[in-house]
Structure 1
Amino acid sequence: MKIFEGNKYSFTNKKDVQCPAEKFLYRQQLGNTLSDVMHNHKSDIVSKIREVANIHKYRRRLKGKCIEHDSLYMSLRLCFEYEINEKELAQNLLLEMFICEGNLDTIFSILLPGHVIKTLSSVKRYTNLLYPGFMSKTMRKKLVESFHFYLRQICETREKLTNGECDIIDRPFEITELHNPLSAAAVCRDPEMVEVLLRYGANPFFRLGEENRFDPFESLIKGLNSIFIFNNSNFNSETKDALTEEGRRGLICLDTFMRGVWSVSFDASTHINTLENGDDSDKKLEEQKSYGLNPKLADMFDYKHYMGVRSLQHVCRCSIRTTLSKNSPTLPSEIEKLPLPPSIKAYLDLKSN
């Protein structure tokens, strides 16, 4: 049986640890900032992590499937804390996780609402390893930084993780197929996570299921519509303040979404549109897809600005990002290499308007 002690992960049963490398890693404390002492200890950590990855691969091949992944998640977290930028090392850890579990839901689990994580014991257990203190507001900055690190490693390995299906960062959660990472961040109205995902190429219009026309962008719009409907109700001032804050965060997410898309079709009318001539083909639905806006939401931003052709500057941004994405799995890294002023690189990387 394993227990959590604050940010330190410890064991009550020594039999749970099966090799010296794992014993070494389990003695480390998670949730720390790299110090001089830790830096001097870095080479030992790297060698032990490499050993753990190899041992896990051996066990998996020997038994067919390994169900104990604590050491893998612990190792990936230590790669972040010790600023270990050896791509091959992190990629091996991710591949082992993916081969055994068939997904990387645990890494993206931090995007789900807290109550969902709490109700799934295995998810909570691994989430605590990857994101120590993830429920604490004081750990928020560290949480975003660690997620950014994991996502960068995932994107470096994305070709090996797609498994012939959709892009790994667009893949729906297995525990809730109505959401994928970007739609989960949109539903939670988390501007920082939305920005990180979009910067790495998450598709805001990815359909969540063959028969489901629901996509991450629609998740955000529906949530905002609901907020502006309920905020007009007779709630007490505290509830209205909370709804106002949610609306503010949602509008920031909306602004971030708009940075990375060519154009969006909105409908702010109050009547119902129907298809003519009885043609309900998927092609016509795709062409006519528009996102309905509550009139109060429509008044909050210039939605017509985002319909049709936008500025030449924005068209250039989208074109450059599309071209770069074909040559590199990690857009932010590729943009950083460009011989351009910092302000232009920030614009291309969706960090500014």
Structure 2
Amino acid sequence: MPRSMPGAADNPNRDPGEFELIARYLVSRDEGKATGLVLGPGDDCALLSPSPGHQLAVSVDTSVVDVHFPAAAPAFAVGHRALAVALSDLAAMGARARWCIMALTIPRMDEAWVAAFSDGFHALCRESGVSLIGGDVTRGQLSVSVTVHGEVPPNRALRRSGGKAGDVLAVTGALGGGLGGLKAWQAGERDLEHELLKAYLLPRPRLAAGLVLRDLAHCAIDISDGLLADLGHICRASGVGAELDPARLPLAAGLETALGHAAAQRAALTGGDDYELLFSMPSSVVDTARQRLAAGGDTLTVIGRLKEAPGIAGVDAELVDGWQHFRGGAS
């Protein structure tokens, strides 16, 4: 692996090089506790041993400066967010998170920034039970790529293709906070205790909720591109349509106050970056799901149903496209 940030070997005050940076900040801080890790950082590959009788669930997510987070965002939040959005994919599949790999690209050496970034990343690792088992550092435009590994019993992963006509549609948590937080940032808000800004920069992957829903829901997806866009993914994969009741959407705290009712509802439908779970299930298990989710601090709100006829009813057709890369806009 070529060293991308060389320094003078005889200068004790020099910036750390790539390998020193990795050793100081970007390796697991609980490697001794990591289960299933046969060989960790320090060799060309990590060696993993999944739990017997389980399948691996693997996903990768890349966060790019001024596309997915502002350039001036706190480094701690950038680290947290980069891992959170990747873990959200495991939550949507009902997978238990186990390991992650991270590739960090930075424009220049700034050890204080990397240290704070690392603190945010590792704090969520500890909270989620994830071990950082390898990665890379290089020079270029600021971006973070995180590959997450989870595990799930065979034939029990939640998929987008399992939805059935007649299922109720529901979501965890509240919606619209991602876009609301972005707008708050653009308006000059910098307090990470601000509810909307926290929702945008410090999202919470619904890993525990995914484990609960694995045994109750027919299908699931995480809301990253916007509720309507992600519901469209479910409808296409499952061969169904949907009907929404926008009046039932659970709006993020402070969203209506900040944006007004119409804009708040639109943010909930199309804003994206919420990282809640959207799922379908038989109406007969909704109460059970709500009780089990509540035990872990999560909420469930029914927002519509799946139907046989194609298309998404109950909302303006012009809203259905949602966010897509290369079609304009930036988050």
Range of TM-score over shorter length: under 0.3
Larger radius of gyration: 1
TM-score (norm 2): 0.27
- The structure with the largest strand share of the pair is 2
Relative contact order, CA 8 A, sep 6+: which one is greater? 2
- The structure with the largest helix share of the pair is 1
